[in-house]
Amino acid sequence: MPAELQWLSDISFFNLLDEDERTVLSKQVEARRFPAGTLIFKAGDPGNSMYVIRTGNVEISLIDEDKQSVVLAVFSDGDFFGELSLLDEEPRSSTAKALKDTDVVLIDREDLRLLFTQKPHAALDMLATIGKRLRENDKLIRSRAARNANEVIDEELTFGQRLADKIASFGGSWPFIIIFLTLLSTWIFINSLLNKPFDPFPFILLNLFLSMLAALQAPVIMMSQNRANANDRIRAELDYNVNLKAEMEIAQLHQKLDGVREELLEAIGVILQHDARSS
């Protein structure tokens, strides 16, 4: 087999083509090599080509609303990527990075049209793969859209609020009740035994301390209750954002998939009409 066809025959994506068809296609497509760590494209770049991996690994990722990188997929030998931007002619929505030295084949719209003309079933195979990826991305979006409410709440807590929560938590526990009753009993017992008690009955000093404790404990408990109400609001907002984001992303994915399906079916229809006229 000629050397210029060997790299095409090694890729499973082109196994549907015979040698003559690969000969025609090899004159159209371009082979390229990306060293490890190279950005093949980034979000926002024009989508003028798709890529088929001959050898190597490519990571597809995007930046979410929290400015964190989210890995959508890692593709290897025989996989293709960047097809959506090629088909709908929209800017790239994600970033592709070579994880190791990677050899790819670049395919533009004319190359893709040539491939579908030679093998219409390749369009259906590509459509099935795109649909599978959209489903996987849908699952990823559902899991990534949900932020941990406890982490969000902890990020917004001040030192005073943390202290109030801990005091309120301890004040409503059995250890606090046991310690409090023990101190009261000890105070009363000691002043009952002493000939000259430092706080004789009716224990006015003890009542003063209890009043001071109650005066301080009440606002601390109210602060903790206000924090609980604020936490509930945060959780409700996060739930709303999760539902809204999932709904919008699913709608966009279905819209893009419908557009790709219509374009591929139109291309297949034109090809079938051409074959019918030729026969």
**pLDDT digits over 168-198, tens only?**
778 778 888 898 889 988 998 888 888 888 8
Asked if the model's pLDDT at residue 13 lies above 70, the reply is no
Asked if the model's pLDDT at residue 212 lies above 70, the reply is yes
pLDDT at 237: 73
pLDDT at 2: 46
Taking the C-alpha atoms of residue 40 and residue 45, their distance in angstroms, rounded to an integer, is 10
Higher pLDDT, 48 or 58: 58
Higher pLDDT, 232 or 53: 53
Taking the C-alpha atoms of residue 249 and residue 5, their distance in angstroms, rounded to an integer, is 41
Token representation of residue 119? 């093998």
138, 250 contact by CB (below 8 A): yes
pLDDT at 34: 93
Taking the C-alpha atoms of residue 201 and residue 71, their distance in angstroms, rounded to an integer, is 72
Count of positions (residues) in the chain: 279
pLDDT at 1: 43
Report the chain's mean pLDDT, rounded to a whole number: 75
Taking the C-alpha atoms of residue 20 and residue 8, their distance in angstroms, rounded to an integer, is 12
| Least-confidence region, from 36-50, 114-128, 133-147, 153-167 | 133-147
Q: What letter represents residue 179's amino acid?
A: I
pLDDT tier at 138, thresholds 50, 70, 90: low
pTM: 0.47
- Decide: residue 178, CB within 10 A, 0-12 exposed, 13-18 middle, 19+ buried: exposed
Asked if the model's pLDDT at residue 4 lies above 50, the reply is no
